[in-house]
């Protein structure tokens, strides 16, 4: 939870906070694919094919999505019963990343439209229309796309470390065997394109760790249940 430092570690963590929200949408049962792109201008884009952050009107005439990205929470979850799903998940890190970004651009595909919002250092720069986000297009898809540029007056370094990001995304794929994570690094000339999908889950993770090492003993974990001899 939250960022923890203004070093490269904290910088990369911005991506993980946004990715974790997409993973929560996967855990809720609605998202099968997450796309992470390191863009040429130094920003990062994270996209999922979940339900899309709710855009409907919330309490005093503001879109629910706007509240998600502008309300800093002390901890725990968004404490509104209107969206209490079975999982009760969805992190509160989006607003933190927003506050630490020179800009954050949000596109939400939901209810047949692409809804748009944009912030600079956490402050909205798009005017709401009757309290709701403007629609910038039609779509039959659903999902959330967040593009953000880390604030260089806050972070000591602003170049994401691809190797660390890739390693974390790969681990996330091992932990979520039904999730596909696509990584693209568009920063220097040729694009790096990697698909992380690990249907074998953490068993595959251990196997891949062991691949580099000498085997000491036979497996002690059996898929499908525990064993007691």
Q: How far is CA 178 from CA 30, 87, 175, in A?
A: 11, 17, 9
Looking at the Cβ atoms of 41 and 79, the one nearer to ligand 28F is 79
Q: Least distance to ligand 28F from the beta carbon of 27, Å?
A: 11
Dist CA 165 CA 10 (whole Å) = 12
Catalogue the E-assigned strands of 59-100.
62-63
Looking at the Cβ atoms of 25 and 117, the one nearer to ligand 28F is 25
Q: Least distance to ligand 28F from the beta carbon of 119, Å?
A: 14
Binding mask 61-100 for ligand 28F (x = CB under 6 A): ---x---x---------x-x--x-x----x----------
Looking at the Cβ atoms of 42 and 54, the one nearer to ligand 28F is 54
From the list 219, 194, 197, 196, the residue with the least C-alpha distance to 206 is 219
Asked if 95 contacts 122 with a C-beta cutoff of 8 angstroms, the reply is yes
Residue 109 interacts with ligand 28F (CB under 6 A): yes or no: no
Pairing of strands 180-185, 33-38: parallel
Q: Least distance to ligand 28F from the beta carbon of 156, Å?
A: 25
The number of residues making up the chain comes to 229
Q: Out of 146, 165, 179, 181, point to the residue binding ligand 28F (CB under 6 A).
A: 146
Looking at the Cβ atoms of 89 and 206, the one nearer to ligand 28F is 89
Q: Who's near 66: CB < 8 A, 6+ residues apart? A: 117, 124, 128, 133
Write out the residues near ligand 28F by the rule CB under 6 A: 18, 21-22, 25, 46-48, 50-51, 53-54, 64, 68, 78, 80, 83, 85, 90, 144, 146
């Amino acid at each position: 939870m939250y960022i923890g430092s203004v070093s490269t570690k904290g910088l990369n963590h911005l991506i993980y906070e946004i990715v974790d929200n997409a993973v929560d949408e996967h855990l809720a049962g609605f998202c099968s694919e997450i796309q992470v792109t390191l863009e040429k201008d130094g920003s990062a884009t994270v996209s999922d094919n979940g339900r899309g952050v709710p855009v409907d009107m919330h309490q005093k005439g503001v879109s629910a999505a706007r509240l998600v990205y502008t309300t800093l929470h002390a901890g725990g979850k968004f404490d509104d019963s209107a969206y209490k799903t079975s999982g009760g998940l969805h992190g509160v890190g989006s607003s933190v990343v927003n506050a630490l970004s020179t800009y954050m651009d949000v596109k939400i595909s939901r209810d047949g439209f692409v809804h748009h919002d944009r912030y600079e250092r956490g402050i909205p720069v798009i005017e709401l229309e009757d309290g709701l986000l403007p629609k910038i297009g039609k779509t039959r898809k659903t999902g959330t796309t967040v593009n953000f540029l880390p604030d260089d007056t806050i972070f000591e370094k602003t170049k994401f470390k691809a190797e660390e990001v890739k390693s974390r995304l790969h681990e996330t794929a091992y932990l979520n065997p039904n999730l596909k994570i696509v990584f693209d690094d568009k920063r220097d000339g040729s694009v790096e394109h990697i698909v992380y999908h690990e249907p074998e889950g953490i068993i595959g993770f251990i196997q891949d760790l062991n691949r580099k090492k000498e085997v000491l003993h036979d497996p002690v974990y059996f898929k499908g249940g525990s064993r007691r001899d």
